[in-house]
Amino acid sequence: MYTIIDGKKIASEIKHEIAEEVAKLSIEGKKIPHLVAILVGNNGSSETYVSNKVTDCKEVGFKSSLIKFGNDVTEEVLLNKIYELNNDTDVDGFIVQLPLPSHISENKVIEAIDPEKDADGFHPVNLGRMMIGIPGYLPATPYGIVELIKRYGIETSGKNCVVIGRSNIVGRPVSILLSQKGMDASVTVVHSRTKNIKEIVKQADIIIAAIGSPYFVTADMVKIGAVVIDVGTTRIKSDETKSGFKLIGDVDFENVAPKCSYITPVPGGVGPMTRVSLLRNTLMAATKA
């Protein structure tokens, strides 16, 4: 029998913890955390993610603001907005939702963000801090994955962990966090150029699937008793949901789950944890000395 890792429930517990902290700040007359989200263009997934992030802020008592730009905004205008937010003392943290239109350099945008307001933990300074294990803002999805693993008491020490995907925002950073002292996993990162992915994944005690390819992980790739964390969120049109869309994970859940000890669902697994990680980073930004 397998356990479904309930990201929604854990995220809700963490949100309660954060809301309590905010209530305390308010009683003490301290500043209420303020997160700003910048959204460029009209990518449907990005619009949903950003509006969820704004809702989360309201739920825990943060102040939040949304700044929208059209798809044709110039890099210069976007960078100037970032400099403005860097200097705005009312703003504790902000994010620029990715992906950006191709005429804007994501790297330039990320590097323009003040590392102390980098609620997504994407700035090279924060990634560098993570790399050497000193406090900083952690990328939201990896942070959420690690928290799920910890709160479910899943042993990682000495375990063979295979991360599928090497993106800057999930695969690569989560591979670093899992191999760090305290987590102590042996981590292999596989990607589009890896030979024998199937054989490598089959050796894994813990599989983190973060490639954005629906149903990529099939039952024949999974060892009995493995822990499977599904980061995939491919959006497809659907008549079954109110929104008209459905999220599909990277794992063939139905056939993989019976082989697992623990598995995350999509939706309701990693997604809600990504969102609370952003809240945790914002709280840290607002309360650090």
- Pure H helices in 104-189: 106-112, 124-132, 140-151, 171-179
Size of interface with ligand GUN, in residues (CB under 6 A):
9
User: Per rule CB under 6 A, is residue 120 in the interface with ligand GUN?
Assistant: yes
User: Per rule CB under 6 A, is residue 273 in the interface with ligand GUN?
Assistant: no
How far, in Å, CA of 47 to CA of 164, rounded?
26
Minimal distance, residue 40 CB to ligand GUN, in Å: 11
Name the residue nearer to ligand GUN (CB basis): 11 or 140. 140
Tell me which stretch binds ligand GUN (CB under 6 A): 6-14, 65-73, 91-99, 151-159: 91-99
- Pure H helices in the chain: 7-27, 44-60, 75-87, 106-112, 124-132, 140-151, 171-179, 197-202, 253-256, 270-287
Are 39 and 68 a contacting pair, CB within 8 Å?
A: yes
Residue among 126, 264, 274, 282 that touches ligand GUN (CB under 6 A): 274
User: Per rule CB under 6 A, is residue 98 in the interface with ligand GUN?
Assistant: yes
53 catalytically annotated: yes
Token digits for 85? 């937010």
Residue labelled with tokens 């790739």:
221
Are 218 and 197 a contacting pair, CB within 8 Å?
A: no
Name the residue nearer to ligand GUN (CB basis): 47 or 59. 47
SS3 content of the chain, % helix, strand, coil (to 5): 45, 20, 40
Token digits for 162? 């295979």
User: Per rule CB under 6 A, is residue 126 in the interface with ligand GUN?
Assistant: no
For residue 54, give Cα distances in angstroms to 37, 139, 148, 238, 260.
Answer: 8, 18, 22, 25, 34
Q: Taking the CB of residue 9, how many other CB atoms lie within 10 A of it?
A: 12
User: Per rule CB under 6 A, is residue 169 in the interface with ligand GUN?
Assistant: yes
180 catalytically annotated: no
H or E stretch covering 122: none
User: Per rule CB under 6 A, is residue 125 in the interface with ligand GUN?
Assistant: no
* Binders of ligand GUN in range 128-147 (CB under 6 A): 140-141
User: Per rule CB under 6 A, is residue 97 in the interface with ligand GUN?
Assistant: yes
Minimal distance, residue 241 CB to ligand GUN, in Å: 20
Tell me which stretch binds ligand GUN (CB under 6 A): 7-15, 21-29, 89-97, 256-264: 89-97
Pairing relationship of beta strands 34-40 and 93-96 according to DSSP bridges: parallel
Check 6, 15, 56, 97 and give the catalytic one: 97
Name the residue nearer to ligand GUN (CB basis): 126 or 141. 141
Name the residue nearer to ligand GUN (CB basis): 6 or 120. 120
Residue among 85, 95, 163, 248 that touches ligand GUN (CB under 6 A): 95
Tell me which stretch binds ligand GUN (CB under 6 A): 3-11, 96-104, 194-202, 256-264: 96-104
Write down how long the chain is. Answer: 289
Sign of CA dihedral 131, 137, 142, 147: positive
Name the residue nearer to ligand GUN (CB basis): 97 or 156. 97
Pairing relationship of beta strands 234-237 and 160-164 according to DSSP bridges: unpaired
88 catalytically annotated: no
Name the residue nearer to ligand GUN (CB basis): 201 or 273. 273
Site residues (vs ligand GUN, CB under 6 A): 95-98, 120, 140-141, 169, 274
Catalytic residues: 53, 97, 120
